[in-house]
């Protein structure tokens, strides 16, 4: 952190609560408020609650783009493709929504067919095949997504279409595929561009309102967390909101990796259990693994994203018994209002209530909220709390196995970093199931996503499409990542550029699939780089070392840790509780 003592603020908006961390010199202050319907109100409220003043840097994680996509609250959008490819968003990849449930359907495209238009002309892999024809009249769309064939190689036709459309309607938000996802695979590129255009008016209104509110409150304009794990300006995020679809959870991943490295654990798994959902992410080398594509709301988004896996299981997840007598947990949540039954606002049975009934929560939460044990007991009448915990733990175990075992990693080689309001309550039980020997619980576990925002680098991601033999690619950047595959394969693996790319790919293929073919020709699909401006140095106040032994509770900032029998540990200089079996 800067030596001048000027404060740094991080604010993360979650589905239930909005969290803030303010670092001022060696002083750390935190605050938490319920998330309001208008996210900007929550952000400014929590900034006031934490006492933000004389702030030099303000970083923000938001779910506004994700919510707009999932709730289908985006702009009236048109889609422009090559003539004959108007159905591109509807034909998809012709794969089933679910392999074994034939009645399952894909979500309806963001742009209906009546607002999908074709333009004459064609670019091929080696240049123009047919001159661009007349751009059709697209009507009264608020946003337009333009995706033409081979625009990742030659964007000239896309640029001309965009020029004509902007000349016709300067108010419409127009996005071309080469601006946001300049890669091959037409459907994924089209899906990303459509989502980007669809979200832009909604995200832009929110970010502008927040920037104006911050200015009025004496705060600097916020930097916005990207899905790739770095922050960018409001203008950059508003121009391409598909880049912030995993904005909120990315902050927690950054914070978890930082504290794992500082605690001396090179490899870790981030486990973020909040009120509504749980996010898990592998942290090889203490840094988030990234993927080039992620599905959000049923739509492929071809943009760099921290490699999170999310399940609908959180402290506020509702517990019920189905018609067959089985206990079900989530994905529905009690949210902040009414919240769990024990909050006393008429909420239903939740995971939080189950933990309270099992004596894993204190009678009073930080902030003075007294928990109503009798209300929790009434909500759980006929349901065994321990059984509900087993059900939700099973769901989270599946998520942890997805990012570790299913990708060729042994979870026993990793530490588990538990955070979020509910994560430390479940971490040790999950670690035991996976054979993990160490659990790290940050002092600021309940607000770690906000702390991660404070420590996030500024980042601008770039991609260049190749699709050629690796031996013919020429000189490559020294830093970044390459998407590589064996010639003839349909999908690629991402390997680092800082070394022998071919050898790294063979190792990665062996790790993922159990075999490698070093004599087989390799194909370079794309190269991914990033411009990074390091964040200010993070200085946390030294804390006294405390030792704990289970069974017992440890109260944290915005969270509670349950230490089962057989586990013990101590806090390190950062205040991180390091638990071992």
- Burial of residue 363 (number of CB atoms within 10 Å: 0-12, 13-18, 19+): exposed
Beta-carbon count within 10 A of 492 CB: 18
- Give the alpha-carbon dihedral of 448, 237, 268, 504, to 10 degrees: -170
Q: Where are the domains of the chain?
A: 7-65+215-243, 70-202, 458-533
Q: Within 13 A of 140's CA, how many CA atoms are on the CB side?
A: 0
State the pLDDT at residue 3.
36
Q: In terms of DSSP bridges, do strands 223-225 and 493-496 run parallel, antiparallel, or are they unpaired?
A: unpaired
State the pLDDT at residue 4.
46
> What's the start-to-end Cα distance of the chain, in Å?
35
Q: What share of the chain is helix, strand, coil (3-state, %, to 5)?
A: 30, 30, 40
Structure tokens at 283: 């942290």
- The answer to whether 172 and 226 are in contact (CB under 8 A) is no
Segment holding 56, helix H or strand E: strand 55-61
The span from the CA of 243 to the CA of 180, in Å, is 9
Beta-carbon count within 10 A of 513 CB: 10
State the pLDDT at residue 364.
86
Structure tokens at 14: 């979650």
- The answer to whether 317 and 332 are in contact (CB under 8 A) is yes
**Residue 550: alpha-carbon gap to chain centroid:** 33
State the pLDDT at residue 367.
66
Residues 6 or more apart in contact with residue 328 via CB below 8 angstroms? 319, 320, 321, 322, 391
Greatest Cα pair distance, the chain, in angstroms, is: 74
Q: What is the pLDDT along the chain (581 residues), one digit of tens a residue?
A: 333 448 999 999 987 789 999 998 778 899 988 888 899 999 999 999 999 989 999 999 998 999 899 889 999 999 999 999 999 999 988 787 788 888 888 899 999 999 999 999 999 999 999 999 999 999 999 999 999 999 999 999 999 999 999 999 999 999 999 999 999 999 999 999 999 999 999 999 999 999 999 999 999 999 999 999 999 999 999 999 999 999 988 999 999 999 999 999 999 999 999 888 899 999 999 998 888 999 998 899 999 999 999 888 899 999 999 989 999 998 888 877 788 999 999 999 999 999 999 999 998 876 678 999 999 999 999 999 999 999 999 999 999 999 999 888 999 999 999 999 899 999 999 999 999 999 999 999 989 999 999 999 999 999 999 999 999 999 999 999 999 999 999 999 999 998 899 999 999 999 888 899 999 999 999 999 999 999 988 888 888 899 999 899 998 878 899 999 999 999 999 999 999 99
Say yes or no: domain 7-65+215-243 is CATH 3.30.70.420.
Answer: no
């Amino acid at each position: 952190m800067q030596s001048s003592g000027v404060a740094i603020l991080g604010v993360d908006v979650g589905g239930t609560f909005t969290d803030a961390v303010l670092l001022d010199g060696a002083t750390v202050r935190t605050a938490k408020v319920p998330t309001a319907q208008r996210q900007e109100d929550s952000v400014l409220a929590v900034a006031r609650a934490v006492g933000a003043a004389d702030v030099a840097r303000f970083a923000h994680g938001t779910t506004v783009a994700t919510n707009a996509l999932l709730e289908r609250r985006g702009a009236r959008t048109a889609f422009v493709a090559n003539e004959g490819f108007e159905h591109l968003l509807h034909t998809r990849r012709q794969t089933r929504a679910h392999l074994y449930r034939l009645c399952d359907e894909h979500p309806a495209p963001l742009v209906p067919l009546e607002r999908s238009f074709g333009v004459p002309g064609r670019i091929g892999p080696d240049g123009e095949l047919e001159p661009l024809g007349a751009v059709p009249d697209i009507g009264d769309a608020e946003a337009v997504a333009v995706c033409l064939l081979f625009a990742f190689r030659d964007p000239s036709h896309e640029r001309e279409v965009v020029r004509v459309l902007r000349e016709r309607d300067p108010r419409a938000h127009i996005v071309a595929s080469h601006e946001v996802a300049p890669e091959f695979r037409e459907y994924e590129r089209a899906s990303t561009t459509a989502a980007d255009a669809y979200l832009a008016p909604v995200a832009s209104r929110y970010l502008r309102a927040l920037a104006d509110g911050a200015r009025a409150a004496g705060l600097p304009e916020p930097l916005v967390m990207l899905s790739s794990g770095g922050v960018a300006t409001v203008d950059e995020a508003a121009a391409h909101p598909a880049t912030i679809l995993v904005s909120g959870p990315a902050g927690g991943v950054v914070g978890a990796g930082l504290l794992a490295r500082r605690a001396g654990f090179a490899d870790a798994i981030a486990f973020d259990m909040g009120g509504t959902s749980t996010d898990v992410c592998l942290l090889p080398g203490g840094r988030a693994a990234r993927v080039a594509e992620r599905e959000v709301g049923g739509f492929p988004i071809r943009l760099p994203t921290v490699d999170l896996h999310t399940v609908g299981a959180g402290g506020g997840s509702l517990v019920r018994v189905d018609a067959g007598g089985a206990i079900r947990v989530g994905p529905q949540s009690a949210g902040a209002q009414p919240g769990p039954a024990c909050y006393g606002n008429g909420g239903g049975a939740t995971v939080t209530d189950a933990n309270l009934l099992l004596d894993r929560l204190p009678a009073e939460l930080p902030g003075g909220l007294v928990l109503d044990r009798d209300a929790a007991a009434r909500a759980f009448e006929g349901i065994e709390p321990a059984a509900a915990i087993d059900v939700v733990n099973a769901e989270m175990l599946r998520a942890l196995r997805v990012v570790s075992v299913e990708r060729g990693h042994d979870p026993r080689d990793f530490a588990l970093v538990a955070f979020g309001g509910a994560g430390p309550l479940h971490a040790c039980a999950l670690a035991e199931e996976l054979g993990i020997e160490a659990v790290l619980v940050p002092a600021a576990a309940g607000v770690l996503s906000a702390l991660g925002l404070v420590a996030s680098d500024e980042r601008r991601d770039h991609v260049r499409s190749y699709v050629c033999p690796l031996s013919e690619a020429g000189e490559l950047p020294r830093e970044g990542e390459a998407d590589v595959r064996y010639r003839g394969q349909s999908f690629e693996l991402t390997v680092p550029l800082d070394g022998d790319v071919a050898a790294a790919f063979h190792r990665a293929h062996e790790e993922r699939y159990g075999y490698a073919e070093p004599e087989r020709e390799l194909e370079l699909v794309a190269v991914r780089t990033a411009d990074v401006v390091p964040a200010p140095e993070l200085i946390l106040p030294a804390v006294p070392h405390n030792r704990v032994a289970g069974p017992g509770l440890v109260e944290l900032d915005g969270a509670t840790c349950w230490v089962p029998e057989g586990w013990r540990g101590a806090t390190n200089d950062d205040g991180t509780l390091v638990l071992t079996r």
